[in-house]
Structure 1
């Protein structure tokens, strides 16, 4: 439990209209139908893939030498690695912040295939190692803001989603990209317990997906992505709240209809499709005006679009961002 997290302690939040309202975690606990057993204390990072000869795998096995001064990198200092890998939401492995690091170590990320289908000219099923070998891997130091009011600065490694979309060639009718995650009750205690409607689904508008900031991450700080952070493939959209950044992706579907996403399905008045970070649009049960950077005591002001307004605000020109939250 974290007393600074509005989800953990909503009665201490002055914007909370009622201490009797269910917290996000309590909503999840309602869905638990069975007792969840821990999968053990394994927290291995899978530093070697099962196909050691591949160039992409070799790149992920060694630390990155890059200094984070690229055109998309934040100038803020990176969060502590133990916070990045030890404090996160990944409800397939449990509802507490420490559950993913404790329970995700045994997830098998090789072999792994990603289905690419829908309104594309080149639908296919591709092995994860082949997929990541198609593109140069880039380091990106991004801010991450959780809808719960906490934040991190994370050094991702991956490739622009736009590069993959150009390769598979969306048809002229495609308007959205739908992402589907793995939901394996044998490996994921949260899936077995039924804490959400599985599989986890997220989506982006096609122009959001094509933006150069939008990343498909396969690594973290120059090494292969830890299981608890979404291995082997996760979405990173830094101007949106963290729940948009779906982990363990198994399917990417191009469609002409806005996908019904997991959190907008379970609580549509609280979690919208767009989920752009906006300090002026409060969650119904807490303010979004400030955030707490993990590792710091004081709260800091939340930046519009999480500090990426200059790059992405034009995508929403003319939209009422209070309505389309």
Structure 2
């Protein structure tokens, strides 16, 4: 007899979505997918020509995935037009609408990722070799940004651990580092020294192996739009959004804490851990509450410790001073 122990953060659609939305889930996803497809039309020639879209997507850009019980946030889904039109992706500009306006210039097919460092298997791999597209699942995660705004997004992808484990990291691998694609012709924002390009992020290896850490390849039923980090981006739901690095081209298993872009740029404001902690204010604004994108100009909610996922991740930081290790 198989007994399945369900983690406390696994909820059902009905736990987090109003009943009228739950009952019309399929029609909502279809409508959302159509909007998302419009947002990134022209991103790849295969899709434009009517041929099969890249990265094992269907011809219309949709993905096949399992709708699981991973529902780990409260509140309504953020409208897809807000998710695809209000972004931080400085490689295309610092304005919130710049990524949606300019990211279609980025080439995402073919796409390869270099894997280096303390692991039994290293080398350069196509995204199809990293992500098992036959085992995609949907998870609804809240993306909490340090500017005190948040979105609730139905991501499509696979657990990060399912990717990392296949490379068999050695005992010397204590951290995993990630790097974003860099192309000065395609990414107009990197022509300016806003940050030290390329964009880099990292996690402790035990953080990366946590069941909540997720590698996304789609949202709202469709492949990721370029502005949301196509073709693959990290989602770390208990941390601020800038830890969820987009358009990944390098994964490195390292023994020392890796350099991360925002900590390097402004160490007083952005630490390596970047866990959502409403008790530690950003030097220039409070983190005690957050604006809910897509719910009106005055919609706010109280910020939760670890973005509400404390039961699943708090043990990772037992004994640490979370004001010092911010």
TM range (shorter): 0.7 to 0.9
- The superposition leaves residues 21-45 of structure 1 with CA deviations (integer Å, 9 ceiling, x where unpaired) of xxxxxxxxxxxxxxxxxxxx98427
Between 1:133-142 and 1:214-223, the stretch displaced more is 133-142
Aligned CA-pair RMSD: 2.3
- The superposition leaves residues 175-202 of structure 1 with CA deviations (integer Å, 9 ceiling, x where unpaired) of 0000011111000011112221100000
Q: What's the counterpart of residue 87 of structure 2?
A: 88
Among 23, 41, 46, the alignment partner of 1:44 is 41
Q: What is the rounded CA distance, in whole Å, between the counterparts of 1:168 and 1:130 in structure 2?
A: 12
1:185 and 1:53, CA in 2 relative to 1: closer, same or farther beyond 3 A?
A: closer
Residue correspondence of structure 1 range 130-149 to structure 2 within 5 A: 130-133=129-132, 136-149=135-148
Q: What's the counterpart of residue 312 of structure 1?
A: 313
Residue correspondence of structure 1 range 166-315 to structure 2 within 5 A: 166-296=165-295, 297-315=298-316
The Cα shift of 1:47 comes to 7.8
Residue correspondence of structure 1 range 36-75 to structure 2 within 5 A: 43-44=40-41, 46=43, 52=52, 56-58=56-58, 61-62=61-62, 70-75=69-74
- Counterpart secondary structure, 1:144: strand
Q: What is the rounded CA distance, in whole Å, between the counterparts of 1:284 and 1:160 in structure 2?
A: 33
Between 1:297-306 and 1:198-207, the stretch displaced more is 297-306
1:60 and 1:121, CA in 2 relative to 1: closer, same or farther beyond 3 A?
A: farther
Q: What is the rounded CA distance, in whole Å, between the counterparts of 1:303 and 1:282 in structure 2?
A: 13
- The superposition leaves residues 59-80 of structure 1 with CA deviations (integer Å, 9 ceiling, x where unpaired) of 983366865x613532422100
- The superposition leaves residues 224-276 of structure 1 with CA deviations (integer Å, 9 ceiling, x where unpaired) of 10000000111100000001111110000000000010000010000000000
1:184 and 1:54, CA in 2 relative to 1: closer, same or farther beyond 3 A?
A: closer
Q: What's the counterpart of residue 35 of structure 2?
A: none
Q: What's the counterpart of residue 5 of structure 1?
A: none
Q: What is the rounded CA distance, in whole Å, between the counterparts of 1:87 and 1:202 in structure 2?
A: 21
Tell me the TM-score normalised to structure 2 length.
Answer: 0.82
Q: What is the rounded CA distance, in whole Å, between the counterparts of 2:105 and 2:149 in structure 1?
A: 27
1:146 and 1:55, CA in 2 relative to 1: closer, same or farther beyond 3 A?
A: closer
* 8 Å Cα contact 2:44/2:107 also seen in 1: no
* 8 Å Cα contact 2:57/2:63 also seen in 1: no
Give ranges in structure 1 of 5+ residues lacking alignment: 1-40
Q: What is the rounded CA distance, in whole Å, between the counterparts of 2:39 and 2:279 in structure 1?
A: 41
Give ranges in structure 2 of 5+ residues lacking alignment: 1-37
Q: What's the counterpart of residue 15 of structure 2?
A: none
Q: What's the counterpart of residue 9 of structure 2?
A: none
* 8 Å Cα contact 2:105/2:187 also seen in 1: no
1:42 and 1:57, CA in 2 relative to 1: closer, same or farther beyond 3 A?
A: closer
State the number of aligned residues: 284
Tell me the TM-score normalised to structure 1 length.
Answer: 0.82
The Cα shift of 1:105 comes to 1.1
